[in-house]
């Protein structure tokens, strides 16, 4: 395990469908952008069906967001995902949405924390994720 935290970043273009009548990204759409980044992070770790696996499902258990500045029509934004905690039945990530592709050039737009729970697909009760997945997630935490 290293002390450096691995940050996943996904570029997204803001389209008309993402905005309100004023050309500003509708606040709830940041959750969709964050979902895409989490999904692509999981895909990059080798889990290409991150929402539904054999007998288990991942659901958002808790989310908290802080809005700093709006994204607007045609912006290229970047959505990050950093794993911060993992247990057998949950994992947590911090996520940011920003404008600008390099560290010194970033303008923070939205930041959040998301806790995802693993549940049994039938009973909807907490269920431990497969050992290989848990170990992979743990290995990504700095």
75-93 pLDDT tens trace: 999 999 999 999 999 999 9
Q: How many domains does the chain have?
A: 1
Tell me what pLDDT residue 5 has: 56
Residue 105 lies in a domain: yes
Residue 115 lies in a domain: yes
Residue 61 lies in a domain: yes
Checking if the pLDDT of 3 tops 70, the result is no
Calpha distance 106→99 (Å, rounded): 6
Residue 1 lies in a domain: no
Residue 90 lies in a domain: yes
Average pLDDT over residues 125-132: 94
- pTM (predicted TM-score): 0.90
**What is the pLDDT confidence band of residue 51, given thresholds at 50, 70 and 90?**
low
Residue 3 lies in a domain: no
Calpha distance 83→85 (Å, rounded): 6
Checking if the pLDDT of 50 tops 70, the result is no
Residue 85 lies in a domain: yes
CATH number, domain of 84, equals 3.10.129.10
Query: Active-site residue numbers?
Result: 20
Residue 2 lies in a domain: no
Beta bridge partners of 115: 62, 92
Question: Domain range spanning residue 65?
Answer: 8-139
């Amino acid at each position: 395990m290293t002390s450096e935290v691995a940050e996943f970043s996904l570029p997204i273009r803001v389209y008309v469908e993402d905005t309100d009548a004023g050309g500003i990204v509708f606040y709830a759409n940041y959750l969709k952008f964050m979902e895409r980044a989490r999904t692509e992070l999981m895909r990059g770790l080798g889990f290409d069906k991150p929402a539904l696996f054999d007998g288990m499902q991942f659901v958002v258990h808790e989310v908290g967001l802080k809005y700093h500045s709006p994204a607007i029509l045609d912006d290229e934004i970047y959505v990050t995902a950093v794993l911060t905690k993992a247990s057998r039945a949950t994992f947590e990530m911090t996520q940011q949405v920003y404008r600008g592709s390099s560290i010194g050039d970033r303008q923070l737009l939205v930041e959040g924390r998301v806790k995802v729970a693993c549940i049994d697909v039938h009973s909807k009760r907490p269920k431990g994720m497969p050992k290989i997945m848990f170990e992979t997630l743990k290995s990504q935490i700095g």
